Chain A
Amino acid sequence: MTEQKSPAKEVWITGIGIVSSLGEGLDAHWDALNAGKINVDDKRFAPYIVHPLAPVTFDAQIPKKGDQRQMEAWQRIGTYAAGLALDSAGVKGNKEILGRMDMIVAAGGGERDIAVDAAILCADAKGNSSPGFLNERLMNDLRPTLFLAQLSNLLAGNIAIVHGVCGTSRTFMGEEAASIDAARIALARIEAGQSDIALVGAAHNGERSDLLVLYEFGDFNLTEKFSPVWQREDRSGFALGSAGCFLVLEAREHAEARGAKPYAKLTKVVADLAQRKQPGAVTKSLEALWPKLGVGDSGTLITGATGVEPVTSDEKAFLRQHPGFAVRATGTIFGHTLETQFPLGLALAALSISRGALFPPNDPTGLEVEKAGSPDQIVVVGAGHWQGEGMALVEAIK
C-alpha cells in the first residue's frame, strides 16, 4: 500500500444486554457473579447437565405476543437480550439511529419439532416406510411457520421487526468462532469508517434434546455431576447453557455526539482457525494470537473455555505461559453457550471495567485467583470446542 490509511477510529462499547441462567440485566449478573451463583439443572435431561434460562418475562422486550409466537426459544432469548442492549445504549426507539444501525448476529439454528421427529422415527421403526411416508408426514405435521423459527438469519430478522434495527443485517454461522468473527468484523468496519454503530451478539437455547444429540455424536456433553471447567480433565465435557448476549459497538465520535456513556472500549479482536491435527495445536494458535493484543505480562483474562478435551488442556498450557493474568472462566458459571460465549466474555469484561472490579473466582482447582483493584484491560479468549480460536482486548477509557 502506497497511500496512508486514515487512523483507525476508537470503538466504544456503549450498550450491553445479557439474559442467562443467572437472570437478566447487568445488576442481576453483577450480583450473581459476586455471590458465586451457578444455576444448573441435572434432572431434566439427566444424566446430561444444562444451565437453564432464568425465568424471564419476554413481554418486557417483545411486547407483541404474535411476535413471540413466531419465534423459537433461541430467537426470543436473543431478541430479548438485543432489546436490553439497545436500552442500555440509550438508543431504544431512536428510529434515526436504529434505521442505520448495522447488525451482525452469530447464530446456530432453531429447535426441531421433536414430537414430529419422534413420531416419524417410531413409525419407521415399525416398518412403516412407504416411499412417500416421510414427505406426507412432514407436509401434514410440520407447523408452516416453524421454518422461520429455525432459520439462522431470522434472529436478526426478528430483531429488525421487534426493535427496528435496520441498517445492514448479517448472520454469521459456525459455532463459537461465528461470534468472534462477528465482533472482529463489526470492530473493523467501525474502525475503518464503514459503520458508525453496530449491534453484535448471539443467543443460545441450551435446553434442547436435539442439540444434546448433536454434541453427543462427538461425546462432548458433561454428564452425571457438575464441576467447574478446570476440573473436568478426567470426565471432560460441556454443560449446555441458555443465554443471549448483545453489545452495542460505536465509534467514539458518534457516541460522544449523542452523549452516550461507554462501559469500555473494544481495542482488538483477532481470530484464527488452527487445523487441530497435532497435539498442542490450540496452544500454538493462541500463542500466535497473543502478541497481536499488545498487552503486558500481567492483567486479567476472561475465557470461554468449554471443559471439553483436548482443547481445554491446550488452553491451560497457554494460560501457564501467562501466569501474571488472573483468569475467569464463563463456562463454569454460564455453561457452554456456543455462539454466545464470546459476546458474554466481552460483556463481562466491559461490565467489570465499568464497575471498577473483577468478579471473584469460582474454581476450586486454584487456576483462578483473587484479583484486587480496578482492571483497566481485560483479555477475552475463545477456543471453540472443535475449531476456531480468538481473542479480544477490552480496555478502560482514559
Chain B
Amino acid sequence: MSAPRDKLGRPIVVVTGMGVVTSLGAGKQDNWAKLTAGESGIRTVTRFPIDGLKTTMAGTVDFVTVDPFSSTGLSERLAEMATGEALEQAAIGAKADFPGPLFLAVAPVEVEWPQRLELGRAVGRTEFGYEDMLRVSGGGRFTAYHRRFMFGSIASHLAETFGTKGSPISLSTACASGATAIQLGVEAIRRGEADAALCVGTDGSVNPEAMVRFSLLSALSTQNDPPQAASRPFSKNRDGFVMAEGAGAMVLESYESAIARGAKILGVVAGCGELTDSFHRTRSSPDGKPIIGCMRKTLADAGLEPEQIDHINAHGTATPENDKMEYNTTAVVFGEHLPKIPVSSNKSMVGHTISAAGAVEAVFSLLTLEHQRIPPTINYEIPDPAILFDVVGNKARDAKVTAVMSNSFGFGGQNASLILTREPV
C-alpha cells in the first residue's frame, strides 16, 4: 500500500505534541483557559528598574526563574519547558532520545548587561575601555560566559537534554522565526529525511537594552497604564507592540509514522510559505506584494483555495503599520470571502513573543481547531475604521474552524505563513 500523501504527492506532516509557555502561564491548559477568558499577561516590568524608559510594561514570564539570570538562560529554560510538555504529549522515542532533528527559533545572543557590568568592575579602575576588559576576560574567571553567550548554546542544551539527532539548527527570521522553525521541520519530513522533527521557538529577552532598542525604533506601545490595555491590535488607538516572553514547541511527524505508532494526531501542517520583502529594513513594501505573495504561496503549498480558510490567526502586532498592511494584503488575497473569516490576534493578551511568536501562535491555532473556539482580540474598544476584518473582539467566539492561516512578519523583510488544519486536506 502506498503511503498517504498530500495533493502534491508529499508526505503529510502532522502534529503529535505541543507545548507552550507565555506570560499567561505554563502549559496548554492554563494558557487556553486564560486566552479564551480574555486575560492579559502584560504587566509593569519588575525584573529591572524602569526609570527613564518610555515603555514600562511587557509580557514577562515572571513565574520562571533562572540563576544566574540572563535572557539567554531564560530563553533556554522556556524552550525546555515547552519541549518537555510537547514530548510528554507526543510520547515519542525514549527519554532523552527524540528520533529526529531540532529546529530552534531563538533571539540573537550576546553578552548581557549584568555580565558586562561584572566584567567592567573586574577591571578595578574608573577609566577604561574594551582593551582593559579584554585583559581581565581570560584565565578561567568568566569561562561560563563563553558558553552561555554562544549563539548555538540553547540548541546545544536542548539537543543534549532531549537527544535530538544530528546537528541542531538555531535560526532567526526576526518576528517570523517561530514559523520558520516549523517550516524547516515540515520540509525535512517532506524530503523524507526525517520521520519526526522537533520545532521550537523561544524568547526570554525582555531586558533593558532590548526594550530600549525597540523603543528607539518607535515600535513599542507607550500606553503603560494600565499595562493590560496596552496591546490593541486592529484598534484605532493602537500605538505599538508589547514585548513579551514565551516559548512554543511542536513535535512534527509524517502521517505515516504517527499512524504506525498509534500516536494521537493533533492537527496537520498543511502548508507553509515564505516570501522576502526587499523594500526596507523595517517597513513593508507599500504595495504589499511580498505579503500577498507569501499568503498565496502558502495557500498553493497547502493546495487550498482562499475560501477554504475559515480563521486567520493574525500577526496583529498592534503597530500602526503592521495591522494596516496586514489588513490591506489579506483583503487582496481573500477578496469577497474576507468578511466571512474571523480574525484574531493572540498578541492582545500575551504580547509579542518575537522569536517565539510563530511557534506560540501555531500552538494556539491548533488549540483553536481542537476546541472549535477562537480566542478574542482584547482591548478592541475603538475599531480602526480602515481595518474591516471580522475581528473576534474582546470575547472568545465558538465557530466551525477547519483551516487556520497563521501569519508572521518580521524586520528584514521576513514574511512567513502557515496553514494548520484538523484533518489532512
Contacts and interface: CB of A to CB of B under 8 A. Distances in A.
Interface of A: 1-3, 5, 45, 48, 70, 103, 107-109, 112, 114, 117-118, 121-122, 124-126, 130-136, 138-139, 142, 144-148, 150-154, 156-158, 160-161, 164-175, 177-178, 180-181, 184-185, 188-189, 192, 194, 209-210, 212-221, 271-273, 275, 386-390
B134 A216 contact: yes
Nearest to A158: B281
Interface string B190-222: 111100000000000000110011111100000
A151 B109 contact: no
Given A109-B109, A157-B412, A217-B143, A147 B217 contact: yes
B159 interface: yes
Given A168-B276, A173-B170, A178-B170, A125 B50 contact: no
Contacts of B290: 166
A178 B152 contact: yes
7 contacts: A1-B192, A108-B151, A132-B49, A135-B51, A152-B172, A173-B108, A388-B152
Given A109-B151, A134-B113, A153-B412, 7 more contacts: A117-B116, A131-B49, A135-B53, A160-B413, A209-B131, A273-B159, A275-B160
A147 B51 contact: no
A125 B128 CA distance: 10
Interface residues of B, number: 90
A387 B151 CA distance: 11
Interface in B72-88: none
Contacts of A178: 151-152, 170
A196 to B, nearest CB: 15
Interface string B115-155: 01101110101111111011001111011111101111001
A119 B9 CA distance: 60
A5 B3 CA distance: 12
Contacts of B184: 170, 185
Interface in B212-249: 212-217
A153 B280 contact: no
Given A153-B172, A189-B187, A210-B111, A219 B120 contact: no
Contacts of B278: 160-161, 164-166
Q: Interface on chain A toward B: helix, strand, loop, or mixed SS?
A: mixed
Contact of B168 (A126, A156, A273): A273
Nearest to B111: A214
Interface of B: 1-3, 5, 49-54, 106, 108-111, 113, 116-117, 119-121, 123, 125-131, 133-134, 137-140, 142-147, 149-152, 155-156, 159-160, 166-174, 180, 184, 187-188, 190-193, 208-209, 212-217, 256, 274-282, 290, 410-414
Contact of A136 (B52, B151, B159, B173): B52
Given A118-B129, A139-B212, A273-B156, A161 B108 contact: no
Nearest to A180: B167
